[in-house]
Each structure stands twice: as structure tokens, then as C-alpha cells.
Structure 1
Amino acid sequence: MAIPTAELHVHLEGTLEPELIYQLAERNRVELPWAGIEDLRTRYDFTGLQHFLDLYYANMAVLRTEEDFADLTRAYLARAVRAGVRHTELFLDLQAHTGRGVPAEVVLRGVDDALGASEAEYGVSSGLIITLLRHLPGEAATEALREALEVDVRLLGVGLCSAETGSARPFREAFELAAAHGLHRVAHAGEEGPAANVTEVLDVLGAERVDHGIRALEDDAVVERLAAGRVPLTMCPLSNVRLQVVGSLDAYPLRELTDRGVLVTLNSDDPAYFGGYVDDVYRETAAALGLGTQELAALARNSMEASFVSEVRRAELVAEVDAWEAGLREA
């Protein structure tokens, strides 16, 4: 039985499996440059973040209609349930779709409808976070968020992702707009960029969680700040290895962070591209680092603590982890 967990760092577009890419391409009459599914899979040997992003954005071309976005969301949720996910806060790269002519309303309604149905079908709670693209201008981010706010769907928060270049300061206005509308704020930082980027998204954007944050370890003061403030890091070990942020999984600095009091969660990031959903992340990380049941349960509880949920829902989620751990002790 998979450990019950909350997944807080997963890009919806990163769950687009090759089989679904080809199904949607046929549905929408999109011509793909690959010889087939297996040829596409051979392209998943990445040299770094930008190499991955180039393919990631190219494959989105098959997503055209509300039905497409709903089908993608349903496919992720069905797999996530098998992976033990009991709550998910999905990232959606809205600008990557509106920038190629797909209306925001089409994207958002498709995703929102599927998320709503999942709560009834699977008992999985969920939220949608609009991730703004760091490689585009700050003004474009603000406009994208305004568009999203005009659509009658449930939004949980706003984030910042894509290539970690330049300053986060151009996105201050968008994040202030998000805060004014009661949205939570998260941001990718300290993945390929330095520890100073973590400090910047906390100070400039008011980020409540940091996505990745692995390079915070380069600055003791940043680590101490994260620990003292219980600022969660939504870490993605398999992603970090595949993108060569770290050399190997057995060298992953998970314990270095947790031993220093940092609240760390485990997540899949872009599972269709990085070879593992969140159950795979837990299993492979545990095997590489020798994590026991108690440590895995603590990481799962961290994911509940870091979630943007009500205290009632949080207690329900933690109780599921407690029951999982107790069941293993009794087995």
C-alpha cells in the first residue's frame, strides 16, 4: 500500500505521457516530429533544465480543447490515487497555453471540471496553482493572472517557474495581485539558481513555500531562516537527478536538510518526463538513502503540514498517515 501523501509540486503539463500525447495529436490533427512513442521516449535523456523545458513546451502543442485539459487532469488523478496521493496542489502553466492561442477559459474550465469530479470519485482534495513563467516579462505574468481571475473557477494560488534566470522582482506586482485576491504564493528557487534566489522569493514575492530550494544549502543563513520559519521546501529528488542538479540519488541531501530542521516534502515534479510518480519518488529515495518507516511517515506528515488546506482536512490527512504507519508496525 502506497504511503498517503499530499503532492505539492507537480506540473499538470509534466504528467503528459507519450501515449496521451499521441492520442491528443490524432484527435486534434497535430503532426508530431517523432517517429512514434518509443522515439519520443528516447528524447528524455536531459542535460539540464533548459533541455527539458524545450521538449516540455513543444509537447504541449497537442493540448487544444477543454476536453484535452480535462482528459490530462483525469489521467494524472487516476495515477496519483494509485500513488497514494490524498491531496494535490497542481501547477498549471497557463501562459504556455494562452501564448499559443488557447483561451484561458478553455484551459481553466477543463482542469477545474476534472478536479471537481475527482473529489467525488476518489476522495482526493485538490487545488489549482497558476504558475507564472519566469522567462517571460513580469507585465505578461500580471496580465495572465488577471485573465485567470476573470474565469469562474477555483484558484488556490500563484507560483513562479521555468528557467531560473534573472531577478524575481519583475513579478512582484503579480504576486501582490494574488495576495490581494486571497491566493497563496509559492515560487521555484534554488534549483539551478543560487541560495540568494530563495531569499529573494521570500522577501520580494512573499512566497509561503519554496519549490525545490536544494541550493539553499549553499548558505547557512538561508537554511536557518527556512528552519526557523517552517518554510516548506517541495523537493523533487528524481527530477533533480534527471536534470543533473545532483549527481545521484544516494547523494541527495535530504537528511542534511531535515536534520537541520527544514520542513521537506517529496514530490514528482514532471513524472511523465522524469520516470516516476510520487510513490516511485518515495520508494526510490527510501532505497537510496536507507529511509525507514518512521522517516517516510514524517515526510508524509510534512506534506500535510505544508498543504494549503483547512485544519479539519489537515487532521484527516495526518490520520491517514498515522493509520498507514500503525498498520506497518502491526504487520
Structure 2
Amino acid sequence: MAHNSTNNVQIFNKPRVELHLHLDGAIKPETILYFGKKRGIKLPADSVEGLMSYVGYDEPRNLTQFLEIFSYYMPAIAGDLTPDEVVHLVNQGFQEGEKHFKIKARSILCCMRHMPEWSTEIVSLCKKYRNEGVVGMDLAGDESLNCKLNSGHCTAYEEAFKNGIHRTVHAGEVGPSTVVKEAVDVLKAERIGHGYHTIDDFCLYKRLLKLNIHFEICPWSSYLTGACDPDLMKHPAIRFRKDKANYSLNTDDPLIFKSTLDKDYCVVSKYMGFTEDDFMEANINGARSCFLPDKEKEELLMTLYEAYGMVQSTVC
């Protein structure tokens, strides 16, 4: 069944909340070329079209193949950037064509499964910059290559928990439900990045529903990384929706997937039966589960309630 013909047609013309969006996977190709030239770093191509032939794709691969793509352009934007370069990267980086509102932008610093030596430094940076826009930490990486949780990550997440730093973990994307269990029980994750394979363990899934753990679902991403059944009409998001799970809809890496959030909304509407009411619920879930300070979270929720025509006497 071919799914890649779904167009980026906006079908939900109201404010939206996106929690799972990687900066290094959401920048414009023009920005990558700019930094490559500015920093004297050779890229595989010197035009937008040429670069996208290496970076972007719209047919299913596996997660390992997807992650390898970052090696084509990360040298141009990684490393020691000046403050002005960081501002340019953030302000100019996001893909054009997004119709949804970016109501509040905050940073989550990311540890990598294969680099546990980073984790201690990441949590230190979270503590240092917690009042300057950094709101939490994440653990990402290729579960298909390494599911084992290193003690370095455990120590860092324990430190984060003790210091009130918010925590999310990529888990159950391509890895088994045991990785999700570990994320919640060992790392004390408040949110799960992806989490599709949670439903393979009925007891775990029911427990996380009861705990109101948030799932950051990325529909189009999961199709292109081979995280789920290629038949989108069998996607775990359908189960999450029916069970009233706490989930949101996200793009993940729109640069590489050549998409926008409109694409994901289109996919779940066309293949999974999502309605406008489902979209509103997903965005309210996202706002309630975001890592903004309480006052800003309350403002965000009130913005959504007003835009959605909802009467809400108590903000949770």
C-alpha cells in the first residue's frame, strides 16, 4: 500500500502544540549550506536540491539508515558555535511552510544511548540553564543496535529527578516494550518519545495509561523509519486514540522526512480516522504534558481552550 502520496494539506486550522521536534532535524537546507560555507566544512552538495538528494527521503527505511543521514550535515552545524551563530541557527533553522503556531519554544537537551559519557554533562547543563530556556532532558539513539541502559544514563537521570529536571526518553520506537518499562521505572520518564511497542505488553500499557504517561507520537516518522507496520491503518496511534491515552502528534525530523506537521495530521486523518475532536484532545494533552513552567503552561492551555471554543474552569 503506497502512503507517500498524502499531501501537506492543512486540515486543522487552529493552534497546535508540538513536543517532539529535533532542532537538528528541522532546520532548513539553506541554513546547513550557510553554516557549511561560513565554517569551511565540506558538504556532499552545494545546492539545496543537491543536499536534499542526500538528506531527505519519503520511502520507508529502517531507523539505523535514517540516523546515518545526520552524518551528511551535522559537522556543519555541530561543535563550538558563537552566540550569534546559535541565534541564527534557531531563528532561521525551522522549516518554512508551517501553518501552526509556535506558541512557546523551549529546549530539551539530548543524551545519546551510545554515548553515556555525555549524560553527566547534559544534566549539568540542564541545571545551569534551567532558568534560561532549558526545561528538560531526553535520551535518544538507535534502540535496534543498543537496548541496554548504561549506568551513566541511570546516574544522570537520577540526578535530574532529584533536581526537578523534567525527563523524556525515546523508547519503544523500534525497541521492545521492556525499553519503555525501563524508561519509566528506572529513568523516571514523564514522557515517552514514540512508545509504539508499549502496546505489546498489555500490563505495562494499562499501567502507563493509569499513570497518565505521555506518548510523543510521530506518525509519518514511524512509517519512514520502519518503526511500525507499514500499513498505517494498523498504527498504534489508533489504539492510543481509542483508549484515550495521553498522547500528542509531532513531526520528529521534518527536514529529513520532507514534511510539516500538516503532513502528520493529514496521515492520521486519512488512514487512522482522526477527527477534529481528536486533534483538539491531542493538543490539549500536549499542553498539559509540556515542560513549561506552571504559569506559562496555564497561559498555553487557556490559549488553546479559547481557540477551541472550550469552557474550562480549572486548568490542570
| Match 1:65 to one of 76, 81, 90 | 81
Residue 51 in structure 1 maps to residue 50 in structure 2: no
Change in CA separation of 1:132 and 1:217 when aligned onto 2, cut-off 3 Å: same
Task: Tell me which amino acid in the other structure corresponds to 1:200.
Answer: E
- Paired AA for residue 167 in structure 1: K
1:163 corresponds to: 142
Which residue identity is paired with 1:139? Answer: E
Deviations 1:78-126 (A, max 9, x none): 859732232xxxxxxxxxxxxxxxxxxxxxxxxxxxxxxxxxxxxxx23
Distance 1:77 1:313, change over 3 A: farther
How many Å apart are 1:187 and its aligned residue? 0.4
1:290 partner amino acid: G
Range 68-77 or range 17-26, more displaced: 68-77
Shifted more, 283-292 versus 296-305: the winner is: 283-292
Corresponding residue for 1:262?
245
Alignment of 1:32-181 (within 5 A): 32-34=43-45, 36-43=47-54, 44-45=56-57, 47-63=61-77, 64-66=80-82, 67-76=84-93, 79=96, 82-86=99-103, 125-136=104-115, 138-146=116-124, 149-150=127-128, 153-164=132-143, 165-170=146-151, 171-181=153-163
1:192 is aligned to 174
Q: Is structure 2 residue 199 aligned with structure 1 residue 183?
A: no
From the two aligned structures, give the one with the greater strand fraction: 1
Q: Is the 8 A contact 1:4 1:321 kept in 2?
A: yes
**Which of structures 1 and 2 has the larger relative contact order (alpha carbons within 8 angstroms, sep 6+)?**
2
State the TM-score, normalizing by the size of structure 2.
0.82
Alpha-carbon contact 2:28-2:93 (below 8 Å) kept? no
Q: Which amino acid in the other structure matches residue 206 of structure 1?
A: K
- Shift of residue 168, structure 1, vs aligned partner: 2.2
Aligned to 1:302: 285
Aligned length: 288
1:202 aligns with 2:184: yes
Letter in 2 for 1:175: Y
Q: Can you give the 5+ residue segments of structure 1 that lack an aligned partner in the other structure? A: 87-124
Q: Which has the higher helix share?
A: 1
CA distance in 2, matches of 1:244, 1:206: 27
TM-score by length of 1: 0.79
Contact 1:128 1:156 in 2 (8 A): yes
Please name the residue that 2:302 is paired with.
319
Amino acid at match of 2:236: P
Q: Secondary structure of 1:156's partner?
A: strand
**SS at 2:278 equivalent:** helix
Could you tell me how far apart the structure 1 residues matched to 2:125 and 2:241 are? 39
Name the CA distance, whole Å, in 1 between partners of 2:204 and 2:159.
26
Q: What is the one-letter code of the residue matched to 1:70?
A: V
Deviation at 1:20, TM superposition (A): 1.5
Q: 3-state SS of the aligned residue for 2:73?
A: helix
What is the distance in 2 between the residues matched to 1:209 and 1:85? Answer: 20
Gap regions ≥5 residues in structure 2: 1-11, 311-316
Q: Give the superposed CA RMSD.
A: 2.4
Superposition deviation, residue 308 in structure 1: 1.9
- The code of the aligned residue for 1:162 comes to G
Partner of residue 33, structure 2: 22
Task: Pick the aligned partner of 2:195 from 194, 197, 213.
Answer: 213
Q: 1:24 to 1:76 in 2, by over 3 A?
A: closer
- Letter paired with 2:170: H
Offset of residue 58 of structure 1: 3.4
Contact 1:188 1:213 in 2 (8 A): yes
Verify: 1:280 aligned to 2:258, yes or no. no
Q: 1 CA distance for matches of 2:124 and 2:234?
A: 42
Q: Which residue of 1 aligns with 2:9?
A: none
Tell me the SS of whatever aligns to 2:17.
strand
**Structure 1 range deviating more: 188-197 or 50-59:** 50-59
Do the aligned partners of 1:185 and 1:208 also contact (CA within 8 Å) in 2?
Answer: yes
Task: State the AA in 1 paired with 2:73.
Answer: N
Amino acid at match of 1:166: C
For residue 145 of structure 1, what is the amino acid of its counterpart? V
